[in-house]
Structure 1
Amino acid sequence: MSLLFSIPFQFLAVAAETEAADSSLVLAGILLSLVVVYFASKLGGELCVRLNLPPVLGELVGGVVVGTSVLSLLVFSESGATADNSLIIKFLELTSSLTPDTAESVFIAQSEVISALSELGVIILLFEIGLESDLKELIRVGPKAAVVAVVGVVTPFVLGTLGLVYLFHVPLIPSIFAGAALTATSIGITAKVLAEIGRLSSQEGQIIIGAAVLDDVLGIIVLAVVSSLVKTGEIQISKVIFLIISAAAFTIGAIVLGRFLGPILVRLMDNMQTRGKVLLVSLIFAFILSYIAQVIQLEAILGSFAAGLVLAETSKQAELEEQIIPVADLFVPLFFVCVGAQTDLSVLNPAIPENRAGLAIAAFLIVVAIFGKVVTGFAVFGKEQLNRLAIGVGMIPRGEVGLVFAGVGAASGALDPATQTAIIMMVIITTFLAPPLLRVVFEKDQPSVTLAENPQEPSS
């Protein structure tokens, strides 16, 4: 069953569980879970901001603290946990009429709702990323950014997948998923650092930003293809080719069709008189595309991402981008905190012999993640003086996009706990490592020629 559009079926399961549990107690469990999620996300995010790190890392680490690895406040039935493992359920037993006989049904219903809300969060996240992407900017930066993006996707994917299969004997499907997680680049983190050191308008900066946006597009397509392979559990060359063509055709088709539908949607919004018209019409469009993507065996997030790209080209882009922020603030932290909460750091304990393979996988993924992006700068053609090392280093951070891969892979059952944790460790290390490295490699080079006197900083 698909991660993202299993939501309706999850709610049906919740309804069945709620019949055996007091609905008021289920709601109480959900409310306590939301308190834990939002407290963890804000505390972790605030700490990271003060350390000049992206808040998303704080949300992830906050999830780890409140989850399975530390406090066991936020645990999930689909991971094999029971009511006895949840401190929230134990707190309910102490403060309400919840009894041990009904605790398990309340726990299952509560954890299913939180999981469903977190899945909705990743749909909103990809819609927001698409809305912030600029197709015209991608075209402007040209072939050099395309070369960097393609090399930055292919190299780590191939090295990661083959290395896991042949060096660590990981099954093919999880290896492909882990390799796919290596393809992402966090445009928000890179853009922030480039702006701080005054290199956002340099040739290197523009190439990095353009390639990072293309990486996001290619990465989402890769994710859709890999997730579809997980559903079938087998690798067939013809099916892989079909899925790649389907994903590319869907993305391009949605953008082309959106150029015709965009003005229609704008006129519809202008003629409406009720509150929330821009936001709700846009979300309807995003959910329809998500549904279509799911029906044709792709991932729903590809549909929401395509919807964001389409609406970014309309006159409502600025207004919609402002209105989607509070919605994203409400749902997206649920996704990242839940990813962290389901991360079992105990699988990386070197004192346990069977965990050492997971540590080796984590180290391998980190090396491939760094090398696979650094080489991209040296793939740039042309004779002009460019800091090619800086271009490669600028592509290293995985950030929120890498976490999307980890979360989708874990929820789909494609990743075992050791591989999932190894991917999350790779995301954390590359995201922490890239900002200081980028400052160092630029400081050793003279400023390059800028492309514009007053460039507009891309949105993070």
Structure 2
Amino acid sequence: MVQSLAGMMVPADIFLSWGVQFPSVLATVAEKAAEAAEADGTMVLLAVLLSLVAIYTASKVGGEFFNWLGFPPVLGELVGGVVIGVSAFNLVVFPETGGNADNSLIMLVLSATAGLDPSVAEPTFEVQSEVVSILAELGVIVLLFEIGLESNIRQLLEVGVQSLVVAIVGVVAPFVAGTVGLIAVFHVAPIPAIFAGAALTATSIGITSRVLAEIGRLSSKEGQIILGAAVMDDVLGIIVLAVVASLAKTGEVDVTNIIFLIISASVFLVGAILLGRFFNDTFVALAEQFQTRGRIVIPAFILALLLAYVAAAIGLEAILGAFAAGLVLDETEPGKELEELTKPISDVLVPIFFVTVGTKTNLSVLNPAVPENRAGLVIASFLIVVAILGKLISGFSVFGVENINRVAIGVGMIPRGEVGLVFASVGSESGALSPSLDVAIILMVILTTFLAPPLLRVVFRDEEPEAAEPDTPA
């Protein structure tokens, strides 16, 4: 986003295409400026404050409830978003999901308690929605930065060929099966099918590592292969996401363009890591010299935001740059301290992202009573089956190792968790996914994340657990 002359936040890609689409760009800028001029600044602030109250309440209540049930809190945040969003109470709604000032409960509260003028209610709603969306985007950038910090490059190099094979099979099998199946069987257009197939590639390392630690299998051969493969899945998945998101922007499948995007995403990630090694010494020196608060975390976020900008500027996703920054800074001496310092920032911004994903989820598209929705339910069932089988197959790709639980390895790769939600969100924001396909992907993420913890306990049940191990942060 960039600042317009009228003081209104305007999508950055409008300005990037200025020379090509000047007339339409000018009209869009004029429209946004008019909205900004009409919106009541005080009411926008009050609307954003109420939105954050609703979002944080949904996040905390949902997270605590799901944690009490023994499931990852992130699922509670997602479900909490569904409750306050377009599928239920309409507290936090967005224009792209059919929301407006008339059906936004927050706008009604402002009218009743703060005297919101009906004539400026719609522009106020538009600007408020844009601000919340920007905060959600910052949340996903912080999330990928944090995931990068938790992914150790040295460990990636040490886990060996087995983890690499499991990761590659765990990405390729569900991606190919999902994409080809959607196109051939369900006649889904190529771009949405590729996006849905890409969402099937993710693996949540946080959820898997937590369960493995609880059952004393984190340091087992199976546990090490699972964790190594999950980390590699993150790297491969982010590259895949950058490629398919760029495809969604161009609107066409061009083999040459796909190859170019894969190369550019890979070169960017590897180049950022290699160049980051030169930055590490500077980062450590600055951290030692600074005396005021934020001496470590502020330089780190400068790098994360800078790399996020560079990635977005060259046509990739900003989150790829944030992820690369996390990988780079994990190698520094204050890396572990930085990881701890990032958590409070993550606690504030990341729930906005997850809850917002839930608020935009319209479950009505899966109502079987509506005939046109039945195809969406069938697609959701197909994605869930592919998501499970695609990862189970990866466990059986392990070779040259005797007495190893291949089923457990496959099960450990099943949960999509927060990474899968990133895919769903980016696909929805790009406009590549239909409402039914978007919800189908989210249902796949929810179900696989629910299934994995109890299944891991079952497949390891007959094996002797190792000594208790400290819990690993999710």
TM-score normalised by length of structure 1: 0.95
Corresponding residue for residue 45 of structure 2: 27
Corresponding residue for residue 144 of structure 1: 162
Q: Is the 8 A contact 1:45 1:56 kept in 2?
A: yes
Q: CA deviation at 1:352?
A: 0.5
Corresponding residue for residue 236 of structure 2: 218
Task: Find the residue that maps to 2:404 and give its secondary structure.
Answer: coil
Distance 1:82 1:406 in 2: 23
Corresponding residue for residue 272 of structure 2: 254
- Matched residue type, 1:401: V
- Matched residue type, 1:194: L
Distance 1:397 1:162 in 2: 22
Corresponding residue for residue 293 of structure 2: 275
Q: Is the 8 A contact 2:213 2:468 kept in 1?
A: no
Q: CA deviation at 1:100?
A: 1.9
User: Cα RMSD between the aligned structures?
Assistant: 1.8
Q: CA deviation at 1:187?
A: 0.6
Distance 2:150 2:121 in 1: 43
Relative distance call for 1:35 and 1:457 in structure 2 (3 A) is closer
Q: What pairs with 1:35-434 in structure 2 (closer than 5 Å)?
A: 35-434=53-452
Structure 1, residues 212-259: CA drift from partner, whole Å, max 9, x if none?
011011000000000011110011111101111111111111111111
Range moving further from structure 2, 382-391 or 11-20: 11-20
- Matched residue type, 1:431: T
Structure 1, residues 340-365: CA drift from partner, whole Å, max 9, x if none?
00000000000000000100010000
After superposing on structure 2, the runs of 4+ consecutive aligned residues of structure 1 that deviate more than 4 Å are 10-16, 453-458
Range moving further from structure 2, 80-89 or 219-228: 80-89
Q: CA deviation at 1:457?
A: 5.7
Q: CA deviation at 1:444?
A: 3.2
Relative distance call for 1:286 and 1:16 in structure 2 (3 A) is farther
Structure 1, residues 396-415: CA drift from partner, whole Å, max 9, x if none?
00000000000111011111
Task: Find the residue that maps to 1:381 and give its secondary structure.
Answer: coil
Q: CA deviation at 1:275?
A: 1.7
Q: Is the 8 A contact 2:214 2:469 kept in 1?
A: no
Distance 1:114 1:383 in 2: 50
The number of residues matched between the two structures is 452
Distance 1:436 1:201 in 2: 19
Distance 1:429 1:199 in 2: 23
Q: CA deviation at 1:188?
A: 0.7
Distance 1:265 1:135 in 2: 18
Q: CA deviation at 1:282?
A: 0.6
Q: CA deviation at 1:445?
A: 4.0
Corresponding residue for residue 18 of structure 2: none
Percent identical among aligned pairs is 62
Q: Which runs of 5+ in 2 are unaligned?
A: 3-7, 13-28
Distance 1:40 1:455 in 2: 32
Distance 1:365 1:259 in 2: 40
Q: CA deviation at 1:298?
A: 0.8
Residue in structure 2 matching 1:443, options 454, 461, 464: 461
Task: Find the residue that maps to 1:18 and give its secondary structure.
Answer: helix
Q: CA deviation at 1:383?
A: 4.0
Task: Find the residue that maps to 2:396 and give its secondary structure.
Answer: helix
Distance 2:407 2:419 in 1: 23
Q: Is the 8 A contact 1:130 1:305 kept in 2?
A: yes
Q: Which runs of 5+ in 1 are unaligned?
A: none
Relative distance call for 1:262 and 1:15 in structure 2 (3 A) is farther
Distance 1:396 1:363 in 2: 15
Distance 2:34 2:225 in 1: 52
Distance 1:369 1:134 in 2: 26
TM-score normalised by length of structure 2: 0.92
Task: Find the residue that maps to 2:76 and give its secondary structure.
Answer: helix
